[in-house]
Each structure stands twice: as structure tokens, then as C-alpha cells.
Amino acid sequence: MSNQDTNNHQTAFRPSLSLLDATMIVAGSMIGSGVFLVSAEITRSIGSAGWLTLMWVLGGIVTIIAAVSYGELSGMYPRAGGQYVYLREAYNPFIAFLFGWTQFGVIQAGTIAAVAVAFAKYSAFIVPFFSEDHILLDLGLFTVSAAQVLAIISIVVLTWINTRGIRNGKIIQTVFTLAKLVSLFGLIVFGFFLGAKAEVWSANWAHAWDAASLTKDANGTIVTTALSGLALFGAVAISMKGSLFSSDAWNNITFIAAEIKNPQRNIGRALFLGTFLVTIVYVSANLMYIAVLPLQEIAFVPKDRVAVAAATHIFGNGGAIVIAIMIMVSTFGCNNGLTLAGARIYYTMAQDKLFFKKAGELNKFNVPANGLWIQCLWASLLCLTGKYGDLLTMVIFGVLIFYVITILGIFILRRKQPNMPRPYKAFGYPVLPLLYIIVAASLALLLLKFEFNYAISGLGIILLGIPVYYVAMARSK
């Protein structure tokens, strides 16, 4: 800790988050907009009820394996910055910097931007003024829509709230997470009891494992193209991109380890409880969609608003409006968790003299306010760069690469530091962590092939960090 951090206005982080708070941050950061939107793209890509369900089950299993593996690292290094610290200890400051750089440039800020855009997307369902089609500024090379402006406003508001202390962020996180869980469980239960139709369910499962790509021709007719071989693997990669993105951000709890009570044990517990709970909710929600909506309607629902379409079938128009509001609550709460956690990485990087010096200072509320505002600025700019799906692809590619490297770090640290206390050990070691590494690395390679333009953008930002690192090192000397 630097001398500045011992000044009156810049004290140390204070452990104030319980196991419940930590679990709510894991679950709340995960449940954003994905489960309400990406089932449409998955259905278009893979084309059957069985494959749709499998993509969510696999996404959940892969996420839980990664989360319980991180539990070992969090017990060893319960410090602010989390994953950044794990990489620094397992490898070196260079690899850690590349993660922090990518987290800032693509992963954290990109996810905040994507979720904010989704928040605006559902706000437009209530207030059409905020539609993506409502262009406020046309500059030729790019346009600015009302949805993008609302997305930016939401990011600014959440950033300001979190600069006022972690207690404010904690309250918002718990309240909004509980609200989204109740609304989701309510939608699932009412969907099965009020909206489910036996004939729809039977028709959707009639060809459950016939993988196919669904598209529309110029006349609006749905064209079904059977998938096999490499094309099927590509469709699985694109589909898993959606389910994994929807399950991402569970690792954010590691970034705020210094503010959690008994972090050696509570972080690992929160990681498992949060990811398991969210997986149950996601799979159940998609089974409900399949029980309520014909598969082709799921695939081509307007603006990909699958949850709103399901709620309309269940409750009528009034119910859809209520659900849209609850989804706005969900995305807003999700971004609160992302906003709260991200700046802690930049704080630790700044302490290592690898980020803006001001980001390594705490304000009078014991939070890294400068880091929060830097993150806010970049996430706001990313809101102007593309649509939800584009941001999603850039984010998930970088996420997969660093999850693989971090979990590989468990094997390295077992050899480098065999006697270091491990209050929590990776479940199923070495089989499950190795399985995750193989699956995640394969998905990253498939994305690089089938979603090249956006995946290569994510890779480019990672590689751009190499010269930035050496410039930062030169300046620190």
C-alpha cells in the first residue's frame, strides 16, 4: 500500500461484505440481459429444442467448473484485483498487465456497454423514444441513437453512486438481485402453469436433436439448413458464445476480495452458490420458453425479445410491460455489480505503476473513484461503437483466453508454491480444470474462425497491450 493510501482521505479498503452480499454480487453480475435476449440467436444458429437446452446446460456446467477452480486462487490471494493478482503470482507482471489491459479495454468496459445497450433496448419497449431506430445524430461514418444515449446515462448514474462508497453499491446489488430472481422465478412458474401448451411443447421436441440453421429469405420464408461436421461445431461455438456471455462476470467477486469478510472461504462459497443458482434459473427459463413459444417464434421474435414474447403469451400485453420493467431492473442491477468491481483491478494495477496513477487512490468513501470514472468514460465510448451482438463477440473471446490462462495458473502454482495455504481447493483437480481449459480453448479457436471480424478485434486489443506494457514500464522507471 502506498503512503498516499494512509492519508486521511485515502484509507485502506474495509471488509464489509458478508457471504450473502458476495453471493448476490456473483448472481447479480451474471444475470443481466443475456437470458432474455440470446436464446433467439442460439435458436437461429442451432435450430432445435434439444440443442437450445444443451447450450444453456453446457454453458452453466463450464461456468461452474471455472468458478469452483477460481475458489482455490481466491483462498490463496484474497486481495483487491483478484484475477489480476492470480496471474501476476502464477506468471509475471506482463501477463497480469495484459489481463488488466484487456479487462479495461474489452472485457469489463465492453460488458458494461453491452448490458447498458440491452437496458436501453428494453426501455424502448416501455418508452419508444429510446428505440435503437431513433437516430439523434447522423455523422455519416456512424450514428448515435436514443438507445445509446440512454445506455451512457445509465453508466454515468451507476458510476456516481458507486463513488459514494461500497455500502451504496451493496444495497443496490442486493435489492436489485433479489428483485430479478423473484421476477424470473415468477415468470418461469407462471409460464409453466398458465402459458404452457402441450401441442407447442410436443412440436418443439419432435425433432429435438436435428441441428439446423434457421434463416429468412427475401420473401420472409423461413429456410432450414441441416448442420453437420465443421458447420455444426461453428454453430455450437456461436451458440455457446451467447450462453457463456450470459453466465459471465461471476469472477467479478474476486476483484473486491479486500472488501469481503473471511475472503479465504467466502469467495469460494459465493462463486459456487451464485453460479449454481444462476444456471438453474437459466435452464429453467429456456425450458419455459420452449413450453410457451413455437421454436420459430423464439428464433425470429422482434428485436430478440424472447422473454417479452413469452410474457405476452402468458399474461397478455400488461404482463409483458411488467416483465420488461423487471428486465430493466435486472440489467441495471447487473451493471451495478460490474461497475463496482471493475475499478478494483485498475486500483491494483496503478499500485504496480501499470495504470493511471490517480486510479490507485481511494477517496474519502474508501473506493477508487478515479478508476470508476475512467472506466465510465471508456464504457460510454464503447456504447457508440456497435450493437449488442458485436460487443458480445469481442468480449467473450478475450474472456475465454484469460480464463484458460488463469485456470492453467492453478497447475503452475501447485508446483511453484506447493506449501502455500489453500483453504479451498479446486474441485475435481486436475480433471475438471483441464476439461475447462480444453473446452474454452476450443471455443475461442472456433470463434476466431466463424466470427473472425469481431474476435480478431478482441485479439488485437490484447496484443496492443504489449507495447503499452513496455511504455508503462519505461515510465515507471
Q: Region 98-113: what's the mean pLDDT?
A: 88
Helices (H), 293-316: 295-299, 306-315
Q: Which three cell numbers stand for residue 290?
A: 420452449
Q: Region 204-228: what's the mean pLDDT?
A: 87
Biggest distance spanned by C-alpha atoms of the chain: 70
Residue 459's pLDDT is 83
The string of pLDDT tens digits covering residues 187-211 is: 899 999 998 999 999 999 998 899 9
212 in helix, strand or coil?
strand
Distance CA 17, CA 179 (A): 19
Q: Are the C-beta atoms of 349 and 355 separated by less than 8 Å? A: yes
Residue 308's pLDDT is 85
Half-sphere exposure of 310 (CA within 13 A, CB side): 35
Q: Fill in the DSSP letter of residue 32.
A: S
213 in helix, strand or coil?
strand
Q: Region 97-124: what's the mean pLDDT?
A: 87
Whether residue 10 is predicted with pLDDT greater than 60 in this model: the reply is no
Mean pLDDT, the chain, rounded, equals 88
| pLDDT, greater one: 98 or 115 | 98
- Name the helix (H) or strand (E) containing 100: helix 93-102
Residue 5's pLDDT is 39
Whether residue 413 is predicted with pLDDT greater than 90 in this model: the reply is yes
Whether residue 321 is predicted with pLDDT greater than 90 in this model: the reply is no
Q: Pairing state of beta strands 212-216 and 222-226?
A: antiparallel
Residue 114's pLDDT is 82
Q: Region 86-99: what's the mean pLDDT?
A: 94
Whether residue 302 is predicted with pLDDT greater than 50 in this model: the reply is yes
Residue 4's pLDDT is 41
Residue 9's pLDDT is 40
Q: Fill in the DSSP letter of residue 2.
A: -
- Name the helix (H) or strand (E) containing 154: helix 146-162
Whether residue 303 is predicted with pLDDT greater than 60 in this model: the reply is yes
* CA dihedral for 188, 189, 193, 195, sign (positive or negative): negative
pLDDT category of residue 1 using cuts at 50, 70 and 90? very low
459 in helix, strand or coil?
helix
pLDDT category of residue 474 using cuts at 50, 70 and 90? confident
Q: What are phi and psi of 4, to 5 degrees?
A: -60, -35
| pLDDT, greater one: 315 or 245 | 315
pLDDT category of residue 386 using cuts at 50, 70 and 90? low
Rg from Cα positions in the chain: 22
Distance CA 269, CA 366 (A): 25
β-strand partners of 226? 212
- Lowest mean pLDDT across 115-124, 150-159, 336-345: 115-124
Q: Are the C-beta atoms of 462 and 102 separated by less than 8 Å? A: yes
Distance CA 232, CA 447 (A): 13
Q: Are the C-beta atoms of 334 and 31 separated by less than 8 Å? A: yes
β-strand partners of 260? 17
Give per-residue burial for 239-264: e unless 16+ CB within 10 Å, then b.
bbbbbbbbbbbbbbbbbbbbbbeebb
Residue 344's pLDDT is 93
The string of pLDDT tens digits covering residues 145-176 is: 888 999 999 999 999 999 999 888 889 999 99
Q: Region 438-462: what's the mean pLDDT?
A: 83
Residue 453's pLDDT is 78
Q: How many residues in total does the chain contain?
A: 477
- Lowest mean pLDDT across 161-175, 349-363, 390-404: 390-404
- Lowest mean pLDDT across 139-143, 261-265, 327-331: 139-143
Q: What are phi and psi of 212, to 5 degrees?
A: -155, 150
The string of pLDDT tens digits covering residues 265-292 is: 899 999 999 999 999 999 999 999 999 9
Nearest to 170 by CA among 69, 25, 14: 25
Other Cβ atoms within 10 Å of 423 Cβ, number: 16
Residue 8's pLDDT is 38
pLDDT category of residue 430 using cuts at 50, 70 and 90? very high
Instruction: Report CA-CA distances (Å) from 407 to 237, 335, 396, 400.
Output: 20, 25, 16, 11
